[in-house]
Amino acid sequence: MSENILAKAYSAEEFQNMAGKVMSLIGESLLISQKETIPQTINWQAPEETLTYWQNEFNSTEKTSLPELLEKVIAHSINFHSKGYVGHQVAVTLPLTFLTSAICAYLNNCTTVYELGMAGNAMEKVVVNHLAEKFGYDQKSTGFVVSGGSMGNLTALVTARTSLGIREEDYSKLAIMVSAEAHYSVERAAKIMGIHSENILKIPVNEHFSIRTDLLEDAYQNAVSQQKIVFCIIGCACTTSVGAHDDLNAIADFAQMHQIWFHVDGAHGGAAIFSEKYKHLLNGVHRSDSLIVDFHKMMMAPPLSTAILYNAGERKIREFSPKATYLWQDQLSEEWWNSAKHTLECTKPITILHTYAIMRLYGDEIYRQNVDTLYDLGSQFAKMIERRSDMELALEPSCNIVCFRYIPNNNRNADEVNKRILHELTKEGTYYVVGTTIKDCFYLRTTFMNPYTDTLCLSHLLDWIENTAKNSI
C-alpha cells in the first residue's frame, strides 16, 4: 500500500518540525545581514545558468526537506535586507511581516465578500480611515486596498470616469494629463481603458523634473479644440525615475478650475505624510480627489498591497458595476465589507494584515523614523558625491532616490563607462545598484530602502566605483 502523502503533507506535527527550522534559517540570515561590515547582496548568474540550476534541482531524485530547499532559494536570491541593497523601490520588510505572511497563507481568507474575510475587510476600513485623516481628506472619505500601484492607478482612473458621468459613446474622446516623468503604469492603465495614445497628454517637466504647471492651460485648451474630453490629471509624489515631486497645489487649482478629477500617484512618496520634516513635499495632496500609497515600499510591508483613497464628495460608487447575485444580493449600494464590488480583483488576499499589525504594534512613529532615516540618507549621499571631483549628480535629491554618475577625465564615453561600472558592480555582488537614462545620458540610480544602510557603507560603494572605473578605462 502506498504512503498517504496527503495526510503527511497536512500533518500538524510535520509542520511544527519544519516551521522551527525555517524560522531559524530566516532569523540567521537576518542577523548576518544586519551585522556584516561588507555586505553580500546578490550572487548574480546569467538567466540561462539560473534556469539550468533550478531545472536540475527540480528533476533531482535526491530527497530534500523544506529547510534545505529554502536555503537554496535564499542563496540564489537577492537579499533586500543587505546594507548593500540600494536598487529598486522594494520594501525591506519588517520581521513581523514574516509571521503575518504565514497567517495570511494559513487562513487563506480573501476580502471578496464579508464572510470570506471578516477581519480583513474591517482592517482595511480602519487603516483607510486612518490614512484619510493623515492626508487631510474629509471624514466621509472612502477607500480600500488593491494589489499594487498599477492596479491602484487603473482603479482611480476608472472611478474618475464613472464618477464624472461620462457616457460610453464618448469613451473614444477621453484624455488624461500627466507628467512626462510619470510612472509607466499610468499610461498602461489609460490604454487598458481604451484611451488612445495621442490622448495621453504628457506634459514636459522643468529643471527639477516636476510637471510644468505653466503649460497645463495651453495643453488643456488645445485638447478641447480637438474635441477631446480631458477628465483627469495625475500628480506625481514622487516620480519613480528621479524622485521628483509635482506642485500638487497648482495642479489642484487647475483641476478645480476645469472641474476634472485630480489623482495623486503617491505609491512611493506618499509615506512622507508621516514625517514632520518631509511632509511639505505633499503640500496640496488634501485637495486631490483620489490618491494611492504603496504599503510595500516605504511602509515596509510585503507586496502587493496598495491603499487607494477617495476624498469625499466626487466619487460615485460602482466603478466596475459588478452583477454577481451569488456573492451579494444588493448590487447597488457601496457595502465596504464586500471588497470585490470596488476592485478588479475578486479573490484578493488579506495583505492588509501586515500594515494593520505594523500600525497596531509600532504606531505612526515607525513610519516617521523610516522616512526620515532614508530621506536623510539620500541627502547625505548626495553631499558625499558632490565632494568627489570625478562624480556628478543628475539633480539634487528631495527624497531617498539619488541618481549620479562617474565622469572620466576626458569626459568621453561617460555612458559606456557607467554601464560597465554597473555591470561589474552587479557581478561582484556586494552592492545592488540600478541604472536609468536622464536627458539621454546614462546614470547610476540608487534608492535607499534599508535603514541599516549607512554612510560608511556608501563611502565604500563610491570608492569601489572609482577604483573600478580607473582600472577599466
Burial degree of 13 (CB within 10 A; 0-12, 13-18, 19+) = exposed
Instruction: Answer whether residue 74 is part of any domain.
Output: no
Q: Where are the alpha helices (DSSP H) in 36-144?
A: 47-59, 66-75, 96-107, 118-134
d(CA 329, CA 220): 42
Task: Find out whether 251 and 237 touch, Cβ atoms under 8 Å.
Answer: no
Domain of residue 224: give its range.
Answer: 103-364
d(CA 83, CA 458): 9
Question: Structural domain tally of the chain?
Answer: 1
User: pLDDT tens digits, residue range 384-427?
Assistant: 999 999 999 999 999 999 999 999 987 678 999 999 999 999 99
Q: Which bin fits 112, alpha (ψ -120 to 50), beta or left (φ > 0)?
A: alpha
Instruction: Answer whether residue 343 is part of any domain.
Output: yes
Claim: this prediction has a pTM higher than 0.75: yes
Task: Find out whether 236 and 179 touch, Cβ atoms under 8 Å.
Answer: yes
Burial degree of 464 (CB within 10 A; 0-12, 13-18, 19+) = middle
Cell of 120: 480583513
Task: Find out whether 337 and 122 touch, Cβ atoms under 8 Å.
Answer: yes
Chain-centre distance for alpha carbon 20: 31
Instruction: Answer whether residue 78 is part of any domain.
Output: no
Instruction: Answer whether residue 468 is part of any domain.
Output: no
d(CA 291, CA 156): 8
CA 403, 408, 409, 412 dihedral sign is: negative
User: pLDDT tens digits, residue range 335-386?
Assistant: 888 887 778 888 899 999 999 999 999 999 999 999 999 999 999 999 999 9
What's the confidence (pLDDT) of residue 317?
A: 66
pLDDT tens, position by position, for the chain (473 residues)? 688 999 999 999 999 999 999 999 999 999 999 988 777 899 999 999 999 999 999 999 999 999 999 999 999 999 999 999 999 999 999 999 999 999 999 999 998 888 899 999 999 999 999 999 999 999 889 999 999 999 999 999 999 998 888 888 999 999 999 999 999 999 999 999 999 999 999 999 999 999 999 999 999 999 999 999 999 999 999 999 999 999 999 999 999 999 999 999 999 999 999 999 999 999 999 999 999 999 999 999 999 999 999 997 767 666 776 677 767 676 667 788 888 777 888 889 999 999 999 999 999 999 999 999 999 999 999 999 999 999 999 999 999 999 999 999 876 789 999 999 999 999 999 999 999 999 999 999 999 999 999 999 999 999 999 998 888 76
Of 419, 422, 420, 442, the closest CA to residue 431 belongs to 422
The residues pairing with 262 across neighbouring beta strands, listed in sequence order, are 233
CA 398, 449, 184, 137 dihedral sign is: negative
Instruction: Answer whether residue 423 is part of any domain.
Output: no
Instruction: Answer whether residue 88 is part of any domain.
Output: no
What's the confidence (pLDDT) of residue 246?
A: 98
Kindly state the DSSP code that residue 391 receives in the 8-state scheme: E
Pairing of strands 391-393, 434-438: unpaired
Q: Which helix (H) or strand (E) holds 13?
A: helix 12-35
Instruction: Answer whether residue 143 is part of any domain.
Output: yes
CA 75, 81, 86: angle at the middle one, nearest 5? Answer: 105
| Exposure string for 323-358, b = 16+ CB within 10 A, e = fewer | eeeebbeeeeeebbbbbbbbbebeebbbbbbbbbbb
> What CATH number is given to the structural domain containing 259?
3.40.640.10
What's the confidence (pLDDT) of residue 323?
A: 72
Cell of 288: 486631490
What's the confidence (pLDDT) of residue 321?
A: 63
Instruction: Answer whether residue 20 is part of any domain.
Output: no
238: cis peptide before it, omega within 30°?
Answer: yes
Helices 248-258 and 216-225: crossing angle in degrees, nearest 10, is 30
Question: How many residues would you count in the chain?
Answer: 473
